[in-house]
Amino acid sequence: MKIRDVVVTPIAFPDPPLLNSAGVHEPWALRTIVQVFCDGLVGLGETYGDAPHLSLVQSAAGRLRGLDIYDLSELRRRVSLALGAADVPDRHGLTGASTTEKTLARVVSPFEVALLDLQGRTIGRPVHDLLGGKVRDLVPFSAYLFYKWAGHPNAEPDEWGAALDEEGIVAQARKMIDRYGFGSIKLKGGVFPPEQEIAAVRALRDAFPGLPLRLDPNAAWTVDTSIKVALETDGLLEYLEDPTGGRADMAAVAEKSPMPLATNMCVVAFADLPEAVERGSVGIVLADHHYWGGLRASAELAAICRTWGIGLSMHSNSHLGISLAAMTHLAAATPNLNYAVDTHTPWQSGVDVVADPLVISEGSARVPDTPGLGVTLDEDALARLHENWVRCGIRERDDTGYRQRVEPGFAKRRPRW
Amino acid sequence: MKIRDVVVTPIAFPDPPLLNSAGVHEPWALRTIVQVFCDGLVGLGETYGDAPHLSLVQSAAGRLRGLDIYDLSELRRRVSLALGAADVPDRHGLTGASTTEKTLARVVSPFEVALLDLQGRTIGRPVHDLLGGKVRDLVPFSAYLFYKWAGHPNAEPDEWGAALDEEGIVAQARKMIDRYGFGSIKLKGGVFPPEQEIAAVRALRDAFPGLPLRLDPNAAWTVDTSIKVALETDGLLEYLEDPTGGRADMAAVAEKSPMPLATNMCVVAFADLPEAVERGSVGIVLADHHYWGGLRASAELAAICRTWGIGLSMHSNSHLGISLAAMTHLAAATPNLNYAVDTHTPWQSGVDVVADPLVISEGSARVPDTPGLGVTLDEDALARLHENWVRCGIRERDDTGYRQRVEPGFAKRRPRW
């Protein structure tokens, strides 16, 4: 069961102009698809597409021939050797200062997923069985709302149209919930002054009285603003996500906040956990196998959260169907996943790199019981999406620069309010 | 891949009169062997043999027919249903107050091991592959020395003879190291006044200048005595194990102790970790899959130790070859196992329930790469050992009562000094 070959393919797919505290999504989102070949089978992985990361993934791929598909320890060792002291900053600033350990975790992840996919395919078992077995048949996802422009500059409005105030956000939520049946809602904030985003939360509460709501300004607020918003939204939010930056400031907010704080910014690696626990920075951690080092590492994170009584939710970046399947298997096998999972799936307009993506309906994805991840690469789609990448010219996500082209005075500031 | 049948067999095997702070080992040690049958294969597990535990294991076994061998989540659920609120105290007092969670972990463990063994046998892979792959080919074990009587009352001296002072301990160490090549030494203390045990440690240091030494009095000392011994043995011990009882008192000792403290008494379940971390009670946790809930749960413990910078060693009770194999696979797949593993193997005089026990030579066991645990049940031996159980009359380990029969004035006291 040795790896015969590894193919790494950068791709790009259309992305709507979704606003966040750093800027706005560019017309193309980047991603890297990993195929690992062994004994006539292929295992799939999906990860970030930014050039520095892509280059490390390619470099690691070159070291994997002959690796046994069960030997995840040796995978880590070989990737570590390939990376040396490489230390790639997260340009989007979401996960704090870079370290070689964080870089290693991000590069290991797509290969680990691909090897688990291969193991499952080889023995005819779903990936969740390799993680201890599923505890649920349906994984709930949340509607992930964004303030957005009607369309990209110099382009027609997209199918979602503008959402630049509470009416737009409620209309977006309604459309998304009509399509997917989501049973909870997350609003990406940090775009407008807090009062305006609080108004949107109130409007969502009025429009969807029974649905849990979350607000995530990506650390756009000071401690004082965060506390003010937390007090004003008391009773409205199931959790407030990364109102401010850093474990010390999050702890200061948590102390006064009536609802739990969640994070995918100040606890993003195992090394962050001891301080976060000691300070009481957060009540909920958003797992994400893409940067925690894979599915097994995410299961370890879950064990830690269970042990320390920390809630567990799941984070999403723009992604396609391999990541959706991996997230679903992980969620299925994680007893203490307490919240609906974030996903960007609705924003990808049905574009995918797999022929048989999981379907979200009535707010949930059914957990596949077929071998491996349960999804199949669409070779033609991969070729088309790679062609996009060749032609789009984008090599690193730059939400800030893109927004500045439209609003020259825009600056990324954390905190802004 | 559904379980067809489960067979639970209580056994007893001869045990020498090993002294500890609670009393002395009886002539027979109890153990329970679990066989799980599926598709013509059998998976093996080994656990404690005390009657209340045996009864729960039997009750859980009755619920497992039809269970898929990969569904460890469902295993836990079914065992939990079988146990209800059962809460079996650890009569030996080693692992503190009992809880339903601890009881569940102990009962799940042999079945989880047996299912991993079955998974491995089914797909032709060693158990360490199911734990992420081995990081070492040889697992080091330590010489586990005990003060002991020459033989059981009214019986001939056993092959080890008496060890009731430092000369006896050094002679025992020499014999054990000659046979097995151990590269580190653990002395079970708490039997004689601390000064006498310190003298034994000094004698071992003189006799074996290069070998790391550990001393484990099983919480026989007060905080003050513990600190005194720690200061007196500065430079002699790689770690001091459970000098005193409880996380608060251990933290008080740890603050003054020049060497790290280790435990298999005050951190024995996930629920114990937050307080132990907060107080700084210990520098090293001894994992033991028999009470942490199995191999996967022990791997989660290892992840927690890695994250919080806590050292990891491994604990042993009297055991036979199934446990030895399970411990070896776990140790092989645990990157941050920092210390040689404890084992009672030398005390079992070659008696075993498997036909092909792992061999400890030059201080280490070679990690099996054959399918599953890599050991095969010896049906005749199982029958003989079960016959021992039927005849020996011992149904619960009682080190204290047994010692009192010889020394009527003996009382179990913790702390004693």
Q: Which of A70, A133, A307 lies closest to B125 in CB terms?
A: A70
Going by C-alpha positions, the residue among B39, B43, B35 that lies closest to residue B6 is B35
B306 in reach of chain A (CB within 8 A): yes
Going by C-alpha positions, the residue among A73, A321, A297, A48 that lies closest to residue B300 is A297
Q: What residue type is A121 in one-letter code? A: R
A333 in reach of chain B (CB within 8 A): yes
Q: Which of A70, A299, A307 lies closest to B274 in CB terms?
A: A307
Chain-chain contact of B308 with A274 (C-beta, under 8 angstroms):
yes
Is the separation of the CB atoms in B217 and B190 below 8 Å? Answer: yes
Residue among B25, B152, B290, B315 flagged as catalytic: B315
Going by C-alpha positions, the residue among B33, B54, B52 that lies closest to residue B43 is B33
Q: Which residues pair with A36 in a beta bridge?
A: A6, A43
B129 in reach of chain A (CB within 8 A): yes
A163 in reach of chain B (CB within 8 A): no
Going by C-alpha positions, the residue among A171, A136, A212, A183 that lies closest to residue A363 is A183
Chain-chain contact of A303 with B300 (C-beta, under 8 angstroms):
yes
Average pLDDT score over residue span B287-305: 98
Chain-chain contact of B296 with A73 (C-beta, under 8 angstroms):
no
Residue B241 has pLDDT above 80, yes or no: yes
Is the separation of the CB atoms in A109 and A290 below 8 Å? Answer: yes
Residue among A152, A315, A319, A329 flagged as catalytic: A315
Closest CA of chain B from A74, distance in Å: 7
From chain A, the residues in CB contact with B271 under 8 A are 307
Residue B95 has pLDDT above 90, yes or no: no
The torsion defined by the Cα of A273, A275, A281 and A285, in degrees rounded to 10, comes to 0
The pLDDT tens digits for B330-382 are: 999 999 998 999 999 999 999 999 999 999 999 999 999 999 999 999 999 99
Asked about B152 being catalytic, the answer comes back as no
B336 in reach of chain A (CB within 8 A): no
The burial of B156, by beta-carbon neighbours within 10 Å (0-12 exposed, 13-18 middle, 19 or more buried), is given as: exposed
Residue A37 confidence class, pLDDT cut points 50, 70, 90:
very high
**Mutate: best of B72, B80, B129, B337, partner A, most A CBs <10 A:** B129
As a whole-number percent, the residues of chain A with pLDDT over 90 amount to 96
Task: Tell whether omega for the bond before A415 is within 30 degrees of 0, i.e. cis.
Answer: yes
Distance separating alpha carbons of residues A244 and A227, to the nearest angstrom:
10
SS (H, E, C) B276-342: HHHHCCCCEEEECHHHHCCHHHHHHHHHHHHHHCCEEEECCCCCCHHHHHHHHHHHHCCCCCCCCEE
DSSP symbol at B377: B
Residue B91 has pLDDT above 70, yes or no: no
Residue B42 confidence class, pLDDT cut points 50, 70, 90:
very high
Q: Which of B129, B277, B307 lies closest to A270 in CB terms?
A: B307
The pLDDT tens digits for A310-335 are: 999 999 999 999 999 999 999 999 99
A336 in reach of chain B (CB within 8 A): no
Residue B96 has pLDDT above 80, yes or no: no
- Mean pLDDT over all residues of chain A? 97
Q: How far is CA B355 from CA B42, B157, B351, B378, in A?
A: 14, 28, 10, 5
Half-sphere exposure of A155 (CA within 13 A, CB side): 16
Q: How far is CA A332 from CA A313, A369, B132, in A?
A: 12, 11, 20
The pLDDT tens digits for B315-327 are: 999 999 999 999 9
Distance separating alpha carbons of residues A326 and A113, to the nearest angstrom:
7
Q: Please report where in the chains the tokens 């997923």 appear, as a residue.
A: A113
Going by C-alpha positions, the residue among B352, B392, B393, B395 that lies closest to residue B375 is B352
B132 in reach of chain A (CB within 8 A): yes
Average pLDDT score over residue span B202-216: 98
Chain-chain contact of A333 with B307 (C-beta, under 8 angstroms):
no
Chain-chain contact of B133 with A70 (C-beta, under 8 angstroms):
yes
Please list, in sequence order, all residues whose beta carbon lies within 8 angstroms of the beta carbon of residue A307, skipping any fewer than 6 positions away: B270, B271, B273, B274, B304
Work out the angle at residue B343's Cα, subtended by the Cα atoms of residues B338 and B346, and round it to the nearest 5 degrees.
Answer: 140
The pLDDT tens digits for A331-343 are: 999 999 989 999 9
- Mean pLDDT over all residues of chain B? 97
Q: Is A133 left (phi over 0), alpha (psi -120 to 50) or beta?
A: left
Reported residue count of chain A is 417
Average pLDDT score over residue span B209-231: 98
Q: Which of A72, A129, A271 lies closest to B132 in CB terms?
A: A72
pLDDT of B93: 62
Distance separating alpha carbons of residues B18 and B145, to the nearest angstrom:
9
As a whole-number percent, the residues of chain A with pLDDT over 70 amount to 99
A70 in reach of chain B (CB within 8 A): yes
Here the tokens at position B101 are 């969670």
As a whole-number percent, the residues of chain B with pLDDT over 90 amount to 96
Distance separating alpha carbons of residues A168 and A146, to the nearest angstrom:
10
pLDDT of A98: 82
Chain-chain contact of B74 with A335 (C-beta, under 8 angstroms):
no
Chain-chain contact of A74 with B270 (C-beta, under 8 angstroms):
no
pLDDT of B85: 81
Q: Which of A73, A274, A335 lies closest to B133 in CB terms?
A: A73
The pLDDT tens digits for A190-208 are: 999 999 999 999 999 999 9
Chain-chain contact of B130 with A70 (C-beta, under 8 angstroms):
yes
Is the separation of the CB atoms in A72 and A98 below 8 Å? Answer: no
Asked about A315 being catalytic, the answer comes back as yes
Closest CA of chain A from B101, distance in Å: 12
Q: Which of A71, A125, A308 lies closest to B70 in CB terms?
A: A125
Going by C-alpha positions, the residue among A147, A209, A149, A144 that lies closest to residue A182 is A144
Residue A108 has pLDDT above 70, yes or no: yes
The pLDDT tens digits for A71-103 are: 999 999 999 999 998 777 766 667 777 889 999
Closest CA of chain B from A68, distance in Å: 9
Closest CA of chain B from A417, distance in Å: 34
Distance separating alpha carbons of residues A232 and A229, to the nearest angstrom:
5
Chain-chain contact of A303 with B308 (C-beta, under 8 angstroms):
no
Is the separation of the CB atoms in A384 and A352 below 8 Å? Answer: no
Residue A307 has pLDDT above 80, yes or no: yes
- Give kind and range of the element (H or E) at residue B101: helix B100-123
Secondary structure of residue B180 in the 3-state scheme: helix
A74 in reach of chain B (CB within 8 A): yes
Please list, in sequence order, all residues whose beta carbon lies within 8 angstroms of the beta carbon of residue B184, skipping any fewer than 6 positions away: B140, B142, B143, B211, B212, B213, B214, B238, B339, B340, B363
Q: Is A246 left (phi over 0), alpha (psi -120 to 50) or beta?
A: left
